[in-house]
Amino acid sequence: MPSARLDAEAFAGQRIKAHGMELEMLRDKAGNFQMRDVATGKVYTVGGVIGREPLVQYLLRWKDGGLQTPSAAWDVERKEWFDVFRDDALQQARGGAVRKPGEWGHWTGRGMNWEAQCAWCHMSGFRKNYDVTTDSFKATWQEPGITCIQCHKVSDTPDAEDGCLVAKSDRNLTDAQHDDNCASCHARREELTGAFSVGDKFDDHFRLELPKIPGVFHPNGLQLEEDYSETSFRLHRMGRTGVTCFDCHDPHSGKVPLPTENDELCLQCHGNNQVINGVLAPQVGHNKLCGGKAMPCIECHMPRMTYMGRDPRRDHALHWPDPRMSIELGVPNACLNCHKDKDDQWCMEYLEKRYKEERMGKYRQRFRAAGHAMQGKGSVQELLAAYSKEEIPAWRATLLGLLAQFPLTPEVQAVALGATQDTDALVRAAAVELLGGDAARKALADKTRSVRHAAAWALFPNLPAGHPVWQEMKETASHQADQPTGAMQLAMLASAAGDATAAELQYRRAVQRDPASVVARMDYAVFLARQNRPVDALRQMLECAREHPQNAEVQYRLGLSLIELGQYRPALRAMQKALQIDSGHAAARQAATQLQTYLR
């Protein structure tokens, strides 16, 4: 909760423009901290605080019983308010335009709900307790902040022998179990349950995000959005060899146990040809790359990127800079963090003179395959060639996800079938998503929930409603139902089970929570059409087309809705517009040809 001693300075009448709104920071006569929307006069009361350094975010009480996280944050060093999304990717994509009220990502939308987006990693023993029927939260937690119970099972009474409250069963956790516990927060992931606890497997409760779509990660696994650490580390060979978080981080202080300025932390493995789990850690000396000046390893291999406007964090992909890939794929080049007067071309020429091609180019095949596929320019041969040489499970899963662009290719089918027997859950899940059919049916009995989850949706809607995994699907959808994705899943499950009333309720909620979503509106329109409500379906598609006038698939679906109502000339115009946007849209071209023939 806010404190008069710590927080009064931030609420002394300051104003800030954030996310398209001007907010004024106040205290009422009773001493409550408040934010007032200057345009409307609406007042929001502060109900919680997260963070202390380098920034503080104040949580506002909301109508659904939850808390909302405004994009205005307080910089404790500069003593000023700032917008954490001032420079975010969405604004840049719009040419600097701010997120709009009503959108999922605006601070008043579900994308900034504290219970769903923040609390698990900021509170110990947290449960959001979202009620699907009332669309409200009744969150609980055992202790505020990150405390012992976030990482340890704790007994009610001290141990008789040593007086410790940490349960003896918890003292024998494996390194992998500790790492999974770290990953439960330090990962960009989808929550499949709300029940992860110390000692559980990460993949039984979460689905890890991988670099398979543009705009989330760079093609080489470097972080682009706020992706945290787990994905990048799993994509590196150190993660494969069994190096864990605790090898570099002290879990209690949050600091590294050895200095990084002189590379002592890195040289504990890389200074003596150490073999870790059968893999040699290459021996390196102090780096004299830059004009004879020794640079700490982390400056080149773990460059900082600033998130939330003021919070610099180091990347954990642990790549060496490769300016050639910067030129080809647009990935960041850490050299330019220091050499600001140079460019990628200069860096590439310098490095490739100094280092042999076999070292500089070791991982380029993988990065090129992923990058080209993410750009829509990939080939099945390039991806298969990269997959055949891949030693890292997370990269195999990533490449399989990208190979899903070519699902019917016999070679892809054969590779994916073999991957269903992989020891890594990420790979098995990617394989069954690609294959579906018999492979997915067999995977319904997989030992790992994330794989069963992937298999179930690959089979949907042909999975029998009475199947045990159906209940797991419903539990996951209910857990996520406060967000558009969960509402969509509940709608699909209800529709498949024949409950049209429940399905429509959840489709409406999905659209309300993300009015700008193409998928939510299009799927709702399809549902309405199947319910013999073509006029209502058309309304959804007209609104979708208004929000996304340059989306070819939206124009095509709008044309289909118009055809349902016998509006053939407007339908033809919609199909023609779809082809103007995307001349390769085959379905729109076929529909336009048929409509032209009919209207002659």
**Is there a cis peptide before residue 461, judged by omega within 30 degrees of 0?**
yes
Other beta carbons within 10 Å of 362: 11
The answer to whether 191 touches 480, Cβ cutoff 8 Å, is yes
Q: Which two tokens stand for residue 243?
A: 């190096």
> Can you tell me the distance from the alpha carbon of 209 to that of 223, in angstroms, rounded to the nearest whole number?
11
- The answer to whether position 520 is within a domain reads no
- The answer to whether position 211 is within a domain reads no
In the DSSP assignment, the letter for residue 175 is H
Nearest CA to 9 out of 21, 29, 27, 35 is that of 27
Instruction: Say how far residue 260 (Cα) sits from the centre of its chain.
Output: 29
Nearest CA to 396 out of 404, 406, 388, 407 is that of 388
20 burial type by CB count under 10 A (0-12 exposed, 13-18 middle, 19+ buried): middle
- The answer to whether position 326 is within a domain reads yes
**Is there a cis peptide before residue 211, judged by omega within 30 degrees of 0?**
no
Sign of the CA dihedral with 539 first, then 543, 546, and 550 last:
negative
- The answer to whether position 169 is within a domain reads no
- The phi, psi pair for 380, rounded to 5°, reads -65, -35
| DSSP secondary structure string for all residues of 355-421 | S-HHHHTTTHHHHHHHHHHHTT---HHHHHHHHHT---HHHHHHHHHHHTTSTT-HHHHHHHHHHTT
- The answer to whether position 136 is within a domain reads no
- The phi, psi pair for 512, rounded to 5°, reads -65, -35
**Domain, as residue range, for 348:** 254-361
- The answer to whether position 288 is within a domain reads yes
pLDDT score recorded for residue 93: 47
Please enumerate in sequence order all residues whose Cβ is within 8 A of that of 260, keeping only pairs 6 or more positions apart, or say none.
Answer: 266, 296, 297, 298
> Can you tell me the distance from the alpha carbon of 428 to that of 397, in angstroms, rounded to the nearest whole number?
8
pLDDT score recorded for residue 160: 77
Which amino acid is located at 440 in the chain? Answer: A
Other beta carbons within 10 Å of 550: 11
pLDDT per residue of the chain (600 residues) written in tens, 0 to 9: 778 788 999 999 999 988 888 999 999 999 999 999 999 999 999 999 988 888 999 999 998 899 999 999 999 999 999 998 876 544 454 454 567 788 898 999 999 999 999 999 999 999 999 999 899 999 999 988 888 888 888 877 887 778 887 777 777 888 889 999 999 999 999 999 999 999 999 999 999 999 999 989 999 999 998 899 999 999 998 887 888 899 999 988 889 999 998 889 998 888 888 887 778 888 876 555 565 567 889 999 999 988 888 889 999 999 889 999 999 999 999 999 999 999 999 999 988 888 877 677 889 999 999 999 999 898 999 999 999 999 999 999 999 999 999 999 999 999 999 999 999 999 999 999 999 999 999 999 999 999 999 999 999 999 887 899 999 999 999 999 999 999 999 999 999 999 999 999 999 999 999 998 999 999 999 999 999 999 999 999 999 999 999 999 999 999 999 999 999 999 999 999 999 999 999 999 999 999 999 998
Q: Which two tokens stand for residue 565?
A: 């109502």
Instruction: Look at residues 88, 123, 158 and tell me which one is the last residue of a structural domain.
Output: 123
The answer to whether 35 touches 24, Cβ cutoff 8 Å, is yes
- The answer to whether position 182 is within a domain reads no
Q: Which two tokens stand for residue 156?
A: 């009610």
Domain count, the chain: 2
Instruction: Look at residues 106, 123, 140 and tell me which one is the last residue of a structural domain.
Output: 123
- The answer to whether position 88 is within a domain reads yes
Instruction: Look at residues 66, 90, 123 and tell me which one is the last residue of a structural domain.
Output: 123
Nearest CA to 67 out of 15, 110, 127 is that of 110
